[in-house]
Amino acid sequence: MKQSRTHNCGELRIANAGENVTLVGWMENVREVGSNFAFVVLRDYYGTTQVVIENAEMMGAIKGLNKESTISVTGTVRERESKNPKQATGDIEVVPTAIKVLGKCVHNQLPFEINKSRDADENVRLKYRYLDLRNPAVKRNIILRCQVVAAIRAAMTEKGFLEITTPILTASSPEGARDYLVPARNHPGKFYALPQAPQQFKQLLMTSGFDKYFQIAPCFRDEDARADRTPGEFYQLDMEMAFATQDDVLSTLEEVLQPIYVKYGRYDRVSSYPFQRIGFNEAMERYGSDKPDLRIDLEVSDITAEVAGCEFGPFQNATVKAVAVDNFNEGRKWIDKLLVDVEVQTGNKVCWVKVDENGELTGGVAKFLANYKDVLTAKLNLKPGSFVCMAASQKKLAAQKTAGVVRTMLGKRLPGHFDEKQYAFCWIVDFPMYEMGEESGELEFCHNPFSMPKGGLQTLLDAEGDIEKCLAINASQYDLVINGYECASGAVRNHDPEIMIKAFQMVGLGEEDVKAKFPAMYNAFTYGAPPHAGAAPGIDRMVMLLCGEESIREVITFPMNKTAQDLMMDAPTTVSQKQLDDVHILINESHLK
């Protein structure tokens, strides 16, 4: 079906010379050479074609038209004298016999030049997103996203998964972020919530006798934006498997996702599966992060024992982590910027020393470490020209995370440590089940309360009443990390009501709390639930990596800005008093100031 055209603007070739054709599209550019001679670039979804105006009648048809007007051009294809090898249709041009205006652009001045829209202010781009998307470079990301989603659907279906949609209007559930609430008109004072994820529904599907489920699921979380996270809504490949183990889920996702990165990724090198599996504790010790970028060849070392007794204040009674690099040739200004950037990102100060040509420690805190030179040299394999950056904190996790930031910054800023052009996959496994809440000071779930504790009920019973033992319990939980980004999270689910109740009792919640918070799931499990496991790779983040973009908004068709505003649709916006009355909402004006 050609609609109102015989060809699109990307398909005419030298073999079409002499044919009479009709093209439609946007008038991208007009270059007038004389009173009755001009070159017009016509653009549609598929590409561009040059149209050559050679008479007064055709010049009159385009005279006064603003760029980006839509037109229909009927004419003859001929070979170009001056060919353009950079253009797919660069061997030909069309000489029109009829031009019809289909839709006028009434604006003499565009908010930005279409082909350079990515250089414009982001808020202007988002306000005029329909113009921004006309830029072929912007459109390519959305096309790739469509191709990736189609490939995922095909792969999951081939593996026997059923695509099942789950409700958008549901109950509020404590899942870590703020809910978007929807007032219920027929139930005054009550609210639906938009799902942060289909977590409970997919587990209920497993208890309903479905074996393998997936969907490309919209998820809604009222949280702040980051470069790799959009506020408001996002999409994930939500999947779950009944009678499944962790290995079943991991191998399935490896077989589905890895070929997609091979086919659509911008880099030629992709990790082979099975992907490397790294325990959470090992990841924190070696990389200072539970989402390590394995393209960086540096690792974190624990030097707490080596500097025990050091008189440098921050090292006393603290965990001390170090990252060492060889052949360091940067000056003091570079080092000072590194230290400032680490402190800005982590809130913690770091310190440093260098090794001079004689093997002596120099600069930074060298005077405090003079007596520790030999043990540090042995521990960190120091040589003349080495540089060591150190993080210390009385909280082990803080020291680890700060050192992890140091590792990343050193790896990416110094030559020879960052092998960028690849997709490096790994699984982080064995996450802690519990942690101490920073604000509450009480035992809390570390990640997903629906995860099965490793060792089952007996592990919980053995740890009851002992905080240290509780903190040592691992969950059957796993994250997929790609190039330093968490791209999927999942777990073997806690499907046993007895274990579920005990797991919640450990954080001070009783059986009645479990029944109140998760009534459908708890009741369903009492009717015989299968062991089940699943995960949810993020579609937006996956496509961002495939495209090589640094902002996730570049791969979302109509994204919100950093403050969760849709500038194009002017949302959120006020509504009428009648609309508020219908849903029994009274606005407290004092809260709007």
User: Do 407 and 514 lie in a common domain?
Assistant: no
Output the 3-class SS for 525-537. HCCCCCCEEEEEE
Helix ranges restricted to H, 128-198: 129-132, 136-158
User: Do 377 and 343 lie in a common domain?
Assistant: yes
User: Do 307 and 398 lie in a common domain?
Assistant: yes
Could you tell me the residue range of the domain that residue 34 belongs to? 14-103
Sign of the alpha-carbon torsion through 275, 277, 282, 288: positive
Q: Is 585 inside a domain boundary?
A: no
CA distances from 317 to 34, 145, 304 (A): 82, 50, 9
Round the average pLDDT of the chain to a whole number and report it. Answer: 93
**What is the residue type of 395?**
K
Residues 6+ apart with CB under 8 A from 217: 166, 195, 197, 198, 235, 236, 237, 238, 536
User: What are 529-573's pLDDT values in tens digits?
Assistant: 999 999 999 999 999 999 999 999 999 999 999 888 999 999 999
Mean pLDDT, range 311-315, rounded to an integer? 91
> Percent of the chain at pLDDT above 70?
98
| pLDDT reported for residue 263 | 97
User: Do 411 and 301 lie in a common domain?
Assistant: yes
Quote the number of domains for the chain: 3
User: Do 457 and 523 lie in a common domain?
Assistant: yes
| pLDDT reported for residue 2 | 59
Q: Is 315 inside a domain boundary?
A: yes
Q: Is 505 inside a domain boundary?
A: yes
What is the DSSP annotation of 310-358?
---GGGTTSEEEEEEESS----HHHHHHHHHHHHHHHS--EEEEEE-TT
pTM of the predicted protein model = 0.90
The last residue of a domain, from among 379, 396, 418: 418
H or E element that contains 41:
strand 37-44
User: Do 317 and 413 lie in a common domain?
Assistant: yes
How far apart (Å, rounded) are the C-alpha atoms in residues 165 and 214?
A: 8
For residue 31, give the CATH number of its domain.
2.40.50.140
User: Do 375 and 409 lie in a common domain?
Assistant: yes
Mean pLDDT, range 223-252, rounded to an integer? 89
According to DSSP, residue 39 is labeled: E
The distance of Cα 143 from the centroid of its chain, to the nearest Å, equals: 17
Q: What's the first-to-final CA gap in the chain, in angstroms?
A: 56
The last residue of a domain, from among 83, 103, 123: 103
Q: Is 123 inside a domain boundary?
A: no
For residue 337, give the CATH number of its domain.
3.30.1360.30
User: Do 412 and 457 lie in a common domain?
Assistant: no
Residue 1, pLDDT > 60, answer: no
User: Do 315 and 409 lie in a common domain?
Assistant: yes
Q: Is 135 inside a domain boundary?
A: no
User: Do 520 and 413 lie in a common domain?
Assistant: no
According to DSSP, residue 18 is labeled: T
Q: Is 291 inside a domain boundary?
A: no
Query: pLDDT-derived band of residue 158, with 50, 70 and 90 as boundaries?
Result: very high
H or E element that contains 237:
strand 232-242
| pLDDT reported for residue 449 | 83
Q: Is 156 inside a domain boundary?
A: no
According to DSSP, residue 415 is labeled: T
Residue 338, pLDDT > 60, answer: yes
Q: Is 20 inside a domain boundary?
A: yes
User: What are 479-522's pLDDT values in tens digits?
Assistant: 999 999 999 999 999 999 999 999 999 888 888 888 888 888 89
